[in-house]
Amino acid sequence: MSNNASITSTQSNLSDNATTDDLSTPSSGTDMTSAELLSAPDIDALLDIADDAIVTWVREQSQLQEVIDALATCGRVALDTEFIKRDTYYPRLALVQLNTGNHIYLLDAPQLQLGDFWQALSKVDVAIWHACGEDLGIFYLLSGCPPLTNIFDTQIALSYVTGQLQMGYQQALDDQLDMHIDKEQSQSDWLQRPLSDEQEQYAIDDVRFLPALYLSLEYELKKQGLYDYVWADCQLYASDLYASQQVEDEAMYLTMADYRYNSQQMAILKAVATWREELARATNQPRTFVIKKQAVREIITEKPSNMRELAHKTTMHRSMLRLYGEELLKVIKEAKNLHPAEHPDCLLPPYRSKNKVLSKAVQQAIDDYARTIGVPASVLMRKKWLGQLYEVIAFDQDMSNLPQGLKGWRNEWVVQTLIPVIEKHKTELQQGMGIRV
């Protein structure tokens, strides 16, 4: 395909064994028919459709309306993005790829105003992605839209089917569709124009087979009665990603906080993390270019008070030290001089105990329910959620403080089964968290 043409298209007849309706009719886990449940998708036919899909470059604003119109009627759409963020705070969106079933669009993002496109995408019944974390981060950053409620992440779905939490797209296609694609272009320069033939093929392949992968997983999940669970977890993930985009600068320190820090160290961490965030944004460079996490930790423990200590007791990059060392020392000094009443709260300690009675009982409860509903234990209960649940019980917090992941379809089991198991061993839990009982 030529990168110089305004629109590049290839068209062939679709397979007689599968129609575009197979790819575009929306589906949910609650209103499926018996035919949907019993009829496995014809993967070979779907792959034929993928191979024959029209490919269109969208480089001019006037062409974008065709894409928006397609989104209004396609039901399902498979998506991916290419971007560069190696040396900037804000990612630079280079390309948006979408597959509406029998048509693949490549949106030349730097040349387009995408506001109407983002709005149209938010209204699609099912938006299919693989490992959508960074893609949705860009979507939320650029669109101004509220949390999406139409996400289906095939990586999350695969965790239910395989127990593997972070299966890559290449492996997913190999395992599920016996299909191999080349991923060598993932770190290439996506802002260069024209793209190389290899880059263009990579970009196309990233969405070419996603509809087939989705339909394969949809069938398997519905057959096992798991589709609704996956759908709920995908929306939870989309909501969590949105929340992570809304964190105020003053709260960024919590991503680096350690329960072993005392209140003064927490104050220093909060001040340094806030300073780093504001400077990174103002200069449009990655946080780690300003100061790496290791150097932040060294500042917390060493509490440098002059340039010599900052240079010799931390690994802060020398160029940043010259530019911003004095400014940073002022930030550290102000934090050290805060009255203790102004210090942020310390983190609650995690559960630690050589006595494994509680841990074994909890794991047994998790394993038992995981087997009952056919969900891998690692998917049923995440380590972070369990830690938060321990805090709620150990400190007698209100159940409204449960993590969102334990308020959805897992809630009945958590309340009726898991919490009573933990309550039975509450003394051990509190002792393991350093609470005097």
Asked, for residue 10, whether it belongs to a domain, the answer is no
Q: In this structure, are 176 and 51 located in the same domain?
A: yes
pLDDT band at 11 (very low <50, low <70, confident <90, very high): very low
- pLDDT grade, residue 106 (50/70/90)? very high
Is residue 153's pLDDT more than 80?
Answer: yes
Provide the pLDDT for residue 436: 81
What's the pLDDT score for residue 304? 97
Q: Are residues 76 and 214 in the same domain?
A: yes
pLDDT tens, position by position, 80-105: 999 998 899 999 999 999 999 999 99
- In terms of domains, do 241 and 262 share one? no
- Total structural domains within the chain: 3
- Model confidence pLDDT, tens digit, residues 311-323: 999 999 999 999 9
pLDDT at 428 over 70: yes
In a shared domain, residues 78 and 52? yes
Asked if the structure places residue 5 within a domain, the reply is no
Looking at residue 382, which CATH number applies to its domain?
Answer: 1.10.150
pLDDT given at position 188: 87
pLDDT, residue 392, reads: 97
The count of C-alpha atoms lying within 13 angstroms of the C-alpha of 187, restricted to the half-sphere facing its C-beta, is 2
- Last residue within a domain, chosen from 245, 263, 283: 245
Q: Same domain for 98 and 140?
A: yes
The residue from 245, 274, 290 where one domain ends is 245
For residue 414, list its beta bridge partners: none
- 13 — pLDDT class (breaks 50, 70, 90): very low
Asked if 240 and 257 sit in the same domain, the reply is: no
8 Å CB contact between 344 and 266:
yes
User: Of 21 and 416, which is predicted with more confidence?
Assistant: 416
Q: Are residues 259 and 400 in the same domain?
A: no
Query: Is the pLDDT assigned to residue 384 strictly greater than 60?
Result: yes
Q: How confident is the model at residue 38, as a pLDDT?
A: 58
- The four Cα atoms 346, 352, 353, 358 give a dihedral, to 10 degrees, of 110
> Do residues 37 and 113 make contact, with C-beta atoms less than 8 angstroms apart?
no
pLDDT band (50, 70, 90) for residue 21: very low
pLDDT of 14 over the 80 cut: no
Does the pLDDT value for residue 31 go beyond 90? Answer: no
Does residue 82 belong to any structural domain of this protein? yes
Q: 350 exposed, middle or buried (CB, 10 Å; 0-12, 13-18, 19+)?
A: middle
Residue 15 lies in a domain: no
Describe the strand order of the beta sheet including 151-153 as a list of residue ranges.
Answer: 54-58, 103-108, 92-99, 76-84, 126-129, 151-153
- Residue 353's pLDDT band, with cuts at 50, 70 and 90, is confident
> Residue 278 — pLDDT band, cuts 50, 70, 90?
very high
- CB of 280 closer than 8 Å to CB of 286: yes
Looking at the fold, whether 261 and 133 belong to one and the same domain comes out as no
Residue 41 lies in a domain: yes
Task: Compute the mean pLDDT over every residue in the chain, rounded to the nearest whole number.
Answer: 91
Same domain, 211 and 337: no
Same domain (yes/no): 239, 258 = no
Residue at which a domain ends, from 217, 245, 273: 245
Domain that residue 37 falls in? 21-245
Query: In the prediction, which pLDDT does 2 show?
Result: 36
CB burial of residue 206 (10 Å; 0-12, 13-18, 19+): buried
* Residue 295 included in any domain: yes
* Residues contacting residue 290 through CB under 8 Å, at least 6 positions apart: 276, 279, 280, 283, 320, 324
Q: Do 229 and 254 lie in a common domain?
A: no
In a domain, 140, yes or no: yes
Assess if residue 2 is contained within a domain. no
Cα–Cα distances (Å) from 383 to 239, 349, 389, 391, in that order, read 19, 14, 10, 13
CATH code of 126's domain? 3.30.420.10
Tell me: do 317 and 413 sit in the same domain.
no
What does the pLDDT read at residue 315? Answer: 97
pLDDT, one tens digit per residue, over 136-146 is 999 999 999 99
pLDDT value, residue 242 = 97
pTM to 2 decimals?
0.89
pLDDT value for 186: 75
pLDDT score recorded for residue 35: 41
